Chain A
Amino acid sequence: MFSKWNRLAGALAILAAVATRGATSKVVKIEFPTCPGVKPGDVKMAQNGDDSTLFDLAPLTGPGVVCTWMRRVPESFSTATSHFSFRIGVNRTGCYRPDLDDTKQDDPVAVFVLACCGSKGATVTVEELDPGMELSYLRIVPMGNEARRKKNIPVGCTESGVLKDDVRTVTRVVSKEKVRLQFRDKPDPFFFGLLVNDLPAKPLTRDGVLYQFIYQRGKGIDGSGTSLSPNAIEVDALKLRQTGLKRLKVTVK
């Protein structure tokens, strides 16, 4: 019910943006003033918050071209409403809107000029979970400060992904970034979930996970103010039972 209105608002925003700027692109280019230690295959990007589908960028070579990577994406996007974030080795950037290079009018390029590279990000690993359990996550990314071009406007963004059976890690988690687990097969960007940054390092039973939900709601970090609502606890307990969760261990290193 919320997502319907938000998606409608998003669609209207895209329409409005396209109407005002009329810029769509399929090419992304990123330049770093310097890029010490960054290898050619180290740069990837997430488009519009999809952390499960990272695009590899290819380094550009040529006279006078340094620290520049490029990628053509399958679907065209509005440069006014889309946002991108980049993975550079063990680091990541915040989310930014692109600048537009329309020198080639028939093939405009979304350009980013960002500082490289922040400190090493942490890795969140989910362990001791039944292999078949469905688990998704949100990354609530703080505003970045890497922009070196005015039109690369930093935006607060939420990225999401699915933790599959073999790879249950969220990598390059930077300081102040919040990772939230959702016990469902597809992430819901309108729902908060369990805040990983606030969990103890020890393994949790299902009751332990329930207690963490109660505690996080009491702290008011689940998006609805501080609450000790017994009715909400009943819903949490029921849903955790339905997932079949028995144990959960989350480490952040």
Chain B
Amino acid sequence: MRARPTLLLLFLAATAAAQPRSIFDADDFVDPRERDGHPLFVSRLLLGVAKSYVDRYRPLHHDAGFVHIANSFYFSDFQFDYKRSEVRGEHGVPVMVCECEEGPIYFPTPPAPDATPAAPPPGSTDTLQFAWYRTVGVEGAPPLMLRYRLSWSRQPIDTAVTEIATGEKFARLSGREQSFGLEADTHLRIRGRDIFGSLQFARTKRSGTVDDRSQNELTYTNRFPAWRFRRILLRPTLTVGGVSGRGGTALNVVHPQFEAFWHDTTTRANLHLIWAPQTIRSGRGGWTTTHQIAFFVDRALFVRLFTNEPRNDSARQDAGGGAF
């Protein structure tokens, strides 16, 4: 009897910590049934640009370019990922400090506690993920597959602070931002129609900087069915939820996203064009909308399905460069 509330608490604690995927973090769901139970390793490179980049519901107010490498290992009903992303772009003006009588005052002044926090400066982020796939039975049909995923990511943030009066270097802060969370796929059947989505809960904390902040995110993303225009697939999603640490409570994120996706069978590259008008509310600024647009290309660098069958040279050639 005691186990049940403990499990519930564990679930809530974990759920209290999932991170929303970056706009350029491509979907990596692979149904274990498609692998016939064989282990699979995929290393994928992704390159792209984003206009009005937004990092975890915090607009950067600048454009950004990014390189992202995702290494995914699938075995049994589990998935491990290590991902590294490098984001490059402008980030306001250098930080200056006034050693005033009432204490150090930083410029530009960090956003107030009831305002939307500033995005961390573009940099490198490492992410580790662990996922578990689970089947859900449906009478008279093959079972559905849902995924539950824990994520942890870390971004170092180095800040050079200059003395405003002298223009000399005042300090160098070595800070970081960490995010921990859980993403759980959900399925509902309403009047015979399957509704798929995911529930995310994340905690993000920035420390050791001139603008230390933390936020909790609880969001639900509904993934609508894709439709097609010629060979291009168009898929909308809608994320709604609440993010703390910016004044006010309850629902303050409405985030539709429209993705155009094209797979080129010759080069095995995937092209993504995403428009994400993200509307967020803070106590100070009210509702504001940021139109984030991203374009990126991804391609597998290495793919290996660990079957017991001998490797087929012609298939390897087909795959392009020894990937199989």
Contacts and interface: CB of A to CB of B under 8 A. Distances in A.
Interface of A: 1-2, 6, 95, 138, 140-141, 143, 155-158, 188-192, 207, 210-211, 214-215, 218-239, 241-242
Nearest to A236: B34
Contacts of B231: 211
Interface of B: 26-35, 37, 40, 42, 44, 72, 76-77, 135, 137-146, 185, 187, 194, 196-197, 223-228, 231, 233, 235, 259, 261, 263, 265, 268, 270, 298, 300, 303, 305, 312, 315, 318-319, 324
Given A2-B135, A158-B140, A214-B263, A227 B44 contact: no
Contact of A230 (B26, B139, B185, B319): B26
A232 B140 contact: no
A222 B31 contact: yes
Contacts of A232: 29-31, 34
Chain A residues touching B, majority SS: mixed
Nearest to A157: B140
A189 B142 CA distance: 6
A6 B135 CA distance: 10
A237 B31 CA distance: 14
A241 B33 contact: no
Contacts of A188: 33
A190 B29 contact: no
Contact of B144 (A223, A228, A238): A223
Contact of A140 (B137, B141, B194): B141
Contacts of B26: 228-230
B270 A220 contact: no
A158 B143 contact: no
Given A1-B76, A223-B145, A225-B196, A235 B265 contact: no
A215 B42 CA distance: 21
Contact of A234 (B140, B143, B223, B303): B303
29 contacts: A1-B77, A95-B140, A155-B139, A158-B140, A189-B142, A190-B33, A190-B135, A192-B33, A211-B263, A218-B226, A219-B225, A219-B227, A222-B31, A223-B141, A223-B143, A224-B31, A225-B146, A225-B197, A226-B225, A226-B226, A227-B29, A228-B233, A230-B28, A230-B270, A231-B44, A234-B42, A235-B40, A238-B315, A241-B319
A191 B145 CA distance: 10
A233 B194 contact: no
Please list the 5 inter-chain residue pairs (A to B) with the smallest Cβ-Cβ separation, ordered nearest first: A156-B140, A218-B226, A225-B196, A224-B145, A207-B265
Contact of B261 (A95, A223, A228): A228
A185 to B, nearest CB: 13
B268 A234 contact: yes
Nearest to B139: A156
Contact of A225 (B33, B187, B263, B319): B187
Given A1-B32, A241-B315, A242-B315, A230 B40 contact: no
A49 B113 CA distance: 62
Contacts of A241: 315, 318-319
Chain B residues touching A, majority SS: strand
| Chain A CB within 10 A, most for which of B140, B263, B268 | B140
Nearest to A188: B33
B275 to A, nearest CB: 15
B319 to A, nearest CB: 7
B321 to A, nearest CB: 13
Contacts of B300: 230-231, 234
A2 B263 contact: no
A141 B140 contact: yes
Contacts of A189: 142
Contacts of B259: 228
Contacts of A211: 231, 263, 265
Contact of B303 (A140, A191, A222, A238): A238
A229 B145 contact: no
| Chain A CB within 10 A, most for which of B26, B139, B185, B233 | B233
| Chain B CB within 10 A, most for which of A155, A189, A223 | A223
Nearest to B135: A2
Contact of B34 (A140, A220, A226, A235): A235
Given A1-B32, A231-B30, A215 B228 contact: yes
B141 A229 contact: no
B82 to A, nearest CB: 14
Nearest to A189: B142
Contact of A228 (B27, B33, B35, B305): B27
A220 B265 CA distance: 21
Contacts of A215: 226, 228, 233
A230 B46 CA distance: 11
Contacts of B28: 229-231
A51 to B, nearest CB: 14
Contact of B140 (A155, A228, A237): A155
